[in-house]
């Protein structure tokens, strides 16, 4: 029965529990692509909540706004910057900001740190209320919405897009136009227990899909509870398989989720569940790191933030390793996430704002930022720095980044993702054949974008 409780309590509790979720630790909430989780945390179930937003929009519409031309970057400039998560918290006092200020004494940068849990809502509300900052850091799946709302400026032509990883650049683009710059990137690779694999008679990391399946089987036969850890409903784990099989999510504005490649990917993915090689459900609060350290779940697919957590949990570096995604019919593609910078159309200082963004995404800043927070640089040339080349795990991530895609930047992506999740779950739990599930995804996704 609904009772009155404090919204703050709710947000706090949910955040706590989310922080201990699948990818636990401080980096969990940095995952921009977990927006759908964040969105789920909003406490009200009533559509009535729409209206304050609407009222806000009306009021601010009445007040009017004045999109302006770029101000001179030479005079004194004040920039409003919204940044999220750990990065937002640390930005103001960082080495990078210090050198930006010394190079640009005429700039005053006001940084507003936002938690990932509220950043998306606040940004959308600020657009509705025409109270956007000059610059904001965004999650990699938000660009479709922002361009649909006509809120962000296009990338100046002076920026050389090929300096950046293509996968990262894609997340900052929509409909083939770049609107932002990737700040840091992350991609998913395979983590596995080397010691257990050796014991089970697997001497090398899995090169192909078949290898991955065999390895999971051998690990399970070798005494682990499961062979690998996969989620019944996580599009981020599933869609890279479609790319690897040679398929695509969208082609020429139409979904291709029921292509033979997609069916093949779904068959492969759901086989792990049918063969009992992975858990049939992951209760909330399930601690993957503990299960990995204990050897119950000796393999999983995740991003760079897990390496530190495994070490912190006390597992010796010699007992585990990372490996690139295994090759499907066509490629060994992974998922790319991270975060991007955008400049808003309402900004009065667009030129200055882009200057700031270009500084934040420059080679030197990215290297200092890696040293500070272990964020992976989105620029290819930054990876040659000794700070990065020294870490053997990073080589795997660096190589994987060259073959990593992001989902199409359409405004309805979150909804499509939920549909993919739903059907993926049906296939994993054997409630639908992979072919039917693929058809279901395709149909629902097409309906969502109104095709």
Residues of this chain that interact with another protein (CB under 8 A) are 1-3, 5, 9-10, 13-14, 17, 36, 39-40, 42, 44-55, 57-58, 61, 124, 127-128, 130, 145, 148-151, 232-233, 280-286, 411-412, 414-415, 418, 422, 425-426, 429, 431
If the CB atoms of residues 46 and 74 are measured against another protein, the closer one turns out to be 46
If the CB atoms of residues 175 and 280 are measured against another protein, the closer one turns out to be 280
If the CB atoms of residues 57 and 166 are measured against another protein, the closer one turns out to be 57
Q: What is the DSSP string of 169-209?
A: HHHTEETTEE-EEEEEEEE-EEEEEHHHHHHTT--S---BH
Task: Pinpoint the alpha helices (H) of 390-430.
Answer: 392-401, 413-428
If the CB atoms of residues 61 and 207 are measured against another protein, the closer one turns out to be 61
What is the C-alpha separation between 335 and 387, in angstroms, rounded?
Answer: 24
What is the C-alpha separation between 422 and 433, in angstroms, rounded?
Answer: 13
CA dihedral 295, 17, 407, 130 (to 10 degrees): -160
Nearest C-alpha neighbor of 116 from the set 207, 18, 243: 18
Nearest-approach distance from CB 431 to another protein, in angstroms: 6
What is the C-alpha separation between 44 and 345, in angstroms, rounded?
Answer: 31
Nearest-approach distance from CB 349 to another protein, in angstroms: 21
Q: State phi, psi for 2 to the nearest 5 degrees.
A: -65, 135
Nearest-approach distance from CB 366 to another protein, in angstroms: 32
Nearest-approach distance from CB 372 to another protein, in angstroms: 33
Nearest C-alpha neighbor of 323 from the set 332, 312, 331: 332
8 Å CB contact between 289 and 310: yes
8 Å CB contact between 108 and 77: yes
Nearest-approach distance from CB 399 to another protein, in angstroms: 35
Nearest-approach distance from CB 43 to another protein, in angstroms: 8
Task: Pinpoint the alpha helices (H) of 187-304.
Answer: 194-199, 209-221, 235-244, 260-274, 288-294
What is the C-alpha separation between 218 and 228, in angstroms, rounded?
Answer: 11
If the CB atoms of residues 51 and 207 are measured against another protein, the closer one turns out to be 51
Nearest-approach distance from CB 411 to another protein, in angstroms: 6
Rounded to whole angstroms, what are the CA distances from 176 to 28, 147, 159, 260, 351? 30, 12, 15, 26, 22
If the CB atoms of residues 142 and 305 are measured against another protein, the closer one turns out to be 142
If the CB atoms of residues 58 and 93 are measured against another protein, the closer one turns out to be 58
Q: Which helix (H) or strand (E) holds 231?
A: none
Nearest-approach distance from CB 281 to another protein, in angstroms: 3
Nearest-approach distance from CB 345 to another protein, in angstroms: 11
What is the C-alpha separation between 193 and 172, in angstroms, rounded?
Answer: 35
In sequence order, what E strands does 51-130 have? 77-84, 107-114
If the CB atoms of residues 123 and 190 are measured against another protein, the closer one turns out to be 123
Nearest-approach distance from CB 204 to another protein, in angstroms: 31
For 287, the token pair is 């601690």
Nearest-approach distance from CB 84 to another protein, in angstroms: 18
Q: How many CB atoms lie within 10 A of CB 50?
A: 9
Conformational region of residue 332, where left means phi above 0, alpha means psi within -120 to 50, and beta covers everything else: beta
If the CB atoms of residues 269 and 397 are measured against another protein, the closer one turns out to be 269
If the CB atoms of residues 229 and 362 are measured against another protein, the closer one turns out to be 229
Nearest C-alpha neighbor of 140 from the set 181, 176, 177, 86: 181
If the CB atoms of residues 72 and 281 are measured against another protein, the closer one turns out to be 281
């Amino acid at each position: 029965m609904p009772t009155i409780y404090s919204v703050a309590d709710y947000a706090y509790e949910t955040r706590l529990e989310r922080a201990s979720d699948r990818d636990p630790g401080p980096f969990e909430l940095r995952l921009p692509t977990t927006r759908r989780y964040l969105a789920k945390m909003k406490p009200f179930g009533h559509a009535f909540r729409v209206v304050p937003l609407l009222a806000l929009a009306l009021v601010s519409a009445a007040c009017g706004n004045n999109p302006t031309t770029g101000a001179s970057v030479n005079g004194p400039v004040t920039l409003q910057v919204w940044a999220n998560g750990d990065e937002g918290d640390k930005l103001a006092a960082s080495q990078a900001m210090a050198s930006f200020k010394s190079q640009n004494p005429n700039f005053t940068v006001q940084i507003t740190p936002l938690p990932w849990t509220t950043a998306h809502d606040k940004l959308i509300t600020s657009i509705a209320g025409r109270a956007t900052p000059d610059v904001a850091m965004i999650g990699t799946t938000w660009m479709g919405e922002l361009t649909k709302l006509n809120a962000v400026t296009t990338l100046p032509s002076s920026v050389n897009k090929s300096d950046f990883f293509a996968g990262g650049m894609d997340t900052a683009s929509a409909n083939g136009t770049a609107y932002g710059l990737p700040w840091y990137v992350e991609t998913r690779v395979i983590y596995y227990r080397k010691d257990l694999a050796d014991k089970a008679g697997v001497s090398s990391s899995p090169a192909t899909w078949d290898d991955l399946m065999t390895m999971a089987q051998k690990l399970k036969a070798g005494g682990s509870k499961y062979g690998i850890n996969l989620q019944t409903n996580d599009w981020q784990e599933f869609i890279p398989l479609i790319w690897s099989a040679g398929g695509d999510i969208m082609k020429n504005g139409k979904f291709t989720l029921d292509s033979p490649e997609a069916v093949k990917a779904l068959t492969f993915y759901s086989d792990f569940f049918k063969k009992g090689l992975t858990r049939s459900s992951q209760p909330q609060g399930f601690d993957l790191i503990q299960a990995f350290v204990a050897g119950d779940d000796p393999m999983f697919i995740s991003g760079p933030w897990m390496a530190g957590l495994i070490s912190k949990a006390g597992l010796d570096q010699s007992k585990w390793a990372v490996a690139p995604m295994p090759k499907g019919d066509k490629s060994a593609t992974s998922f790319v996430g991270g975060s991007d910078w955008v400049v808003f159309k309402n900004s009065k200082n667009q030129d200055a704002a882009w200057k700031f963004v270009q500084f934040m995404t420059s080679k030197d800043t990215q290297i200092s930022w890696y040293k500070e927070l272990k964020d992976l640089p989105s620029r290819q040339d930054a990876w040659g720095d000794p700070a990065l080349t020294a870490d053997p795990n990073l080589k795997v991530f660096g190589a994987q980044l060259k073959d990593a895609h992001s989902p199409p930047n359409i405004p309805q992506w979150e909804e499509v993702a939920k549909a993919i999740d739903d059907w993926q779950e049906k296939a994993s739990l054997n409630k639908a054949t992979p072919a039917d599930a693929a058809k279901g995804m395709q149909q629902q996704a097409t309906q969502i974008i109104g095709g």
